[in-house]
């Protein structure tokens, strides 16, 4: 997996927080960037912050779907979002590349899950999202707060333990990133 600090992010990229980012919402986070437009801003979902909720906790009619919900970010945590893998199953879904789709008609997704046409391990649900206003993400990349990875999200990556995902991706980029993957969260503890 490669990275470039000067890379312009685009939908489908993974953003990895810098090792010493002290924001509690994003420390050691991996974000799937779903939208990035300089004029309108950016939207993404934190992939490695599980919530304490399951889908059935949020939607009582779906309590038969025993699936974790992740904290997509600090913005509008009263909203539910999803990504799924495979071929496009929902007409309104937005392609993020490599067979990853964002959003679509939720009742149709539930029908596809019920019929087995979409499997639970092919979907990830999020409460809230991560959002940046126009120019904000570009500024955070200059600080630097984020590393843009040109690697792609895969179902295999999502099978990794959420607390190991950031470290695994950092190590996969090699060089200084492999070393930084082992930095303590608080450098004073080193």
Q: What is the pLDDT tens value at each position of the chain, 190 positions in all?
A: 444 455 788 999 999 999 988 898 999 999 999 999 989 999 999 999 999 999 989 988 788 778 899 999 999 999 999 999 999 999 999 999 989 999 999 999 989 988 889 988 899 999 999 999 999 999 999 988 999 986 778 888 888 889 999 999 988 888 888 778 777 666 665 5
Confidence at residue 3, expressed as pLDDT on a 0 to 100 scale: 45
pLDDT at 162: 92
pLDDT at 93: 97
Q: What is the pLDDT of residue 4?
A: 46
Residue at 190 is within a domain: no
Say how many domains are in the chain: 1
Is 183 within a domain? no
Residue 150 confidence (pLDDT): 61
Residue 54 counted as domain residue: yes
Does any domain span residue 187? Answer: no
If one counts every other C-beta atom within 10 angstroms of the C-beta of residue 157, the result is: 19
Q: Which two tokens stand for residue 186?
A: 């608080």
- CA dist 144 and 13 (Å) reads 17
What local confidence, expressed as pLDDT, does residue 141 receive?
A: 92
Which pLDDT belongs to residue 63? Answer: 80
Query: Residue 25 in contact with residue 73, Cβ under 8 Å?
Result: yes
Is 184 part of a structural domain of the chain?
Answer: no
pTM value surpassing 0.75? yes
**CB-CB contact of 54 with 35 (8 Å):** no
**CB-based contacts of 107: which residues, under 8 Å, 6+ apart?**
none
pLDDT confidence of residue 2: 45
In a domain, 5, yes or no: no
- Domain holding 155, by residue range, is 14-175
Burial call 37-50: b when 16+ CB within 10 Å, e when fewer: eeeeebbbbbbbbe
Q: Which CATH number fits the domain that encloses residue 130?
A: 3.40.1740.10
Q: Is residue 182 assigned to a domain? A: no
Distance of alpha carbon 135 from alpha carbon 147, whole angstroms: 16
* 186 found inside a domain: no
Distance of CA 169 to the CA centre of its chain: 13
Q: What is the pLDDT of residue 149?
A: 86
Beta pairing class for 41-46 and 30-37: antiparallel
């Amino acid at each position: 997996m490669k990275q470039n600090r000067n890379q312009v992010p685009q939908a489908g990229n993974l953003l990895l927080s810098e090792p010493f980012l002290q924001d509690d919402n994003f420390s050691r986070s991996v974000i799937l960037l779903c939208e990035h437009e300089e004029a309108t801003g950016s939207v993404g979902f934190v992939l490695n912050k599980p919530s304490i909720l399951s889908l059935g906790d949020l939607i009582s009619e779906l309590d038969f779907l025993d699936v974790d919900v992740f904290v997509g970010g600090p913005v509008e945590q009263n909203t539910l979002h999803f990504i799924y893998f495979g071929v496009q199953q929902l007409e309104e879904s937005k392609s993020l590349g490599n067979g990853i789709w964002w959003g679509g008609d939720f009742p149709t997704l539930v029908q596809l899950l019920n019929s087995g046409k979409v499997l639970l391990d092919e979907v990830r649900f999020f409460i809230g999202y991560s959002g940046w206003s126009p120019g904000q993400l570009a500024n955070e990349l200059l600080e630097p707060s984020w590393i843009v990875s040109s690697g792609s999200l895969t179902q295999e990556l999502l099978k990794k333990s959420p607390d190991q995902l950031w470290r695994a991706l950092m190590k996969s980029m090699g060089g200084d990133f492999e070393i930084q993957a082992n930095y303590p969260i608080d450098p004073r503890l080193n």
